[in-house]
Chain A
């Protein structure tokens, strides 16, 4: 029952989507930039081979020698496989590209991993060019929290709520990606703004300007927070993840 065309169609759709994402600069929503060249070259070669394979005529299957029940079962299985594949492919070709949202940030717990990557961050030196990842690591690793107090910063990220005090504390959040979005880990810097939900919403991209201080919230488990001078909405950046 299974038609031979399903494989080439799936390959073609996946390859076309990959190339299209790359052309539009959206490939970074799914894979780490270091794989761009490899991924795109493979996709282009895939398209070429699929088109070339159109010249080979590959007919559909004849009935197998299995009994009627087994054949019905196999038929059902084949249909299920084709439907699931088409769903997967449909989402590839139909849905607009998107970043991960705060749902995944909550589900994976912001700052649950220790992001090492750039070595240890002690936040004693120059912190002017620290981003969300660097500050999240510094807050986690630093033994001298008083040394961080008063440091000014400006950070851009999307909003996810602090699970311990969702009314008053939110995270300026980014996803840290090592390979592809599947391994993205949320990193975030807590911001103390009582009743932030009155002016902001989950998943909003914001630029927060302020300075670090001890956390006034009693419920939150975050020792240090940014006490913001300004929280202004911004557009989602073209490279929403950090590496």
Chain B
């Protein structure tokens, strides 16, 4: 998505190089570069203080908006504030994976057989419990680190479901109805690995990625310099890719929620077929995080069929408005349409199967 080139040491000017080295070593604080460093830090702190001041002074104006506009903004902000920590955590994990893990780390511990390898990759979420929005930067980091595109897709789709926090919250919410948890976990695993397997047949996996991200990968491989500086550079790069997508995804999610009446979905109720599609539509719109969606849908438990809830809990973490905006930073629109359609069909089939069996 972004096409900016980051230049470090070799490309940057000489002052930068000295400055970075000084920062890494923390030893030349008396030198000129040290003073420049202090100036830059002071500018940063000043900007933070300025933002706080602006934020603290403005409410005195006492603006008031029409209800719907106000709610649109409240909903969008709540999605941003709720997702922000996960996104930041995801970016930090991506930085760790890319900059701090030794090269070939994953090749050493993962099986060689592609199917077994993807199966293991879909369980990485058990070790790095980030919900879906944090998984996007992490998946980007994994591609840069040498994962193939189908492998990172498998990770991206499986990790929000196959992670300890999601399992615990689902168990808490649906403890009395074990079919929900089992169907969610098995369904998530199967769907993610099926998508991974399908795309492993693709003749040119790199064509699935946006040109901007392919360039980022190339740049990332060329980087050299102190690890701390590379980490910060990657943080800057990743926030530029991810944050606009997060904010736009949140605005779209807030906008749809303000416009589409919820009772249209609820009215579809317990019909075994329509309820599945209705809850998938709800999951797509609400964009609630996979770690807590079980609690959210529990409150609709009396209205909707079990299969519909299972579809909600498998489709929602993989595909929703916010996720599409985030994934668009990395994958082409065509890829996302294909993946959404495939995941949607499989999640619907899973829900219908549960409705038939239960």
Write the residues of chain A forming the contact surface with B, with a CB cutoff of 8 angstroms. 1-8, 10-21, 27, 29-32, 35, 38-39, 41-43, 45-47, 49-62, 64, 74, 81-82, 84-85, 87-89, 91-104, 107-109, 112-117, 176, 178-183, 185, 203
Contact = CB atoms under 8 A, between A and B. Distances in A.
A15 B251 contact: no
Given A88-B251, A103-B67, A179-B82, A116 B241 contact: no
A108 B88 CA distance: 31
Contacts of B244: 6-7, 10, 81-82, 84-85
B266 A2 contact: no
A11 B204 CA distance: 34
Nearest to A59: B7
A10 to B, nearest CB: 4
Interface residues of B, number: 89
A14 B80 contact: yes
B298 A116 contact: yes
12 contacts: A7-B237, A12-B48, A14-B243, A30-B82, A42-B88, A43-B85, A55-B19, A55-B41, A56-B229, A84-B251, A93-B55, A113-B299
Nearest to B50: A16
Contact of A6 (B8, B240, B286): B240
Interface in B199-258: 229, 232-233, 235-244, 247-248, 250-251, 253-254, 257-258
B296 A178 contact: yes
B76 interface: yes
Contacts of A117: 298-299
Contact of A3 (B4, B75, B79): B4
B55 A178 contact: no
B84 A39 contact: yes
A182 B75 contact: yes
Contact of A61 (B4, B12, B20, B78): B4
Interface string B1-42: 011111110001000100110010000000000000100110
B52 A54 contact: no
- Max chain B C-beta neighbours (<10 A), residue from A55, A59, A100, A179: A55
B71 A101 contact: yes
A125 to B, nearest CB: 22
A236 to B, nearest CB: 13
Interface in B62-115: 62-63, 65, 67-68, 70-71, 73-82, 84-85, 88-89, 92
| 4 closest Cβ pairs, A-B complex | A7-B240, A7-B239, A42-B85, A51-B44
Contacts of A46: 84, 88
B79 A182 contact: yes
A181 B78 contact: yes
A8 B250 CA distance: 18
A179 B242 CA distance: 22
A88 B235 contact: no
Contact of B74 (A14, A17, A29, A82): A29
A39 B79 CA distance: 12
Interface of B: 2-8, 12, 16, 19-20, 23, 37, 40-41, 43-45, 47-48, 51-52, 54-56, 58-59, 61-63, 65, 67-68, 70-71, 73-82, 84-85, 88-89, 92, 229, 232-233, 235-244, 247-248, 250-251, 253-254, 257-258, 261-263, 266, 286-289, 292-293, 295-296, 298-303
- Max chain B C-beta neighbours (<10 A), residue from A4, A20, A45: A4
B71 A18 contact: no
Contacts of A99: 74
A31 B78 CA distance: 6
A162 to B, nearest CB: 14
A85 B80 CA distance: 12
B62 A56 contact: no
B287 A182 contact: yes
B251 A55 contact: no
A41 B298 CA distance: 29
A241 to B, nearest CB: 11
Given A2-B4, A179-B295, A89 B247 contact: yes
Given A4-B237, A49-B235, A114-B302, A55 B40 contact: yes
Contacts of A88: 76, 80, 247-248, 250-251
A38 B51 CA distance: 22
Contacts of A114: 299-303
Contacts of B295: 178-179
Contacts of B243: 6-7, 10-11, 14, 85
A99 B293 CA distance: 21
A201 B268 CA distance: 32
Contact of B54 (A4, A56, A93): A93
- Max chain A C-beta neighbours (<10 A), residue from B23, B63, B247, B258: B247
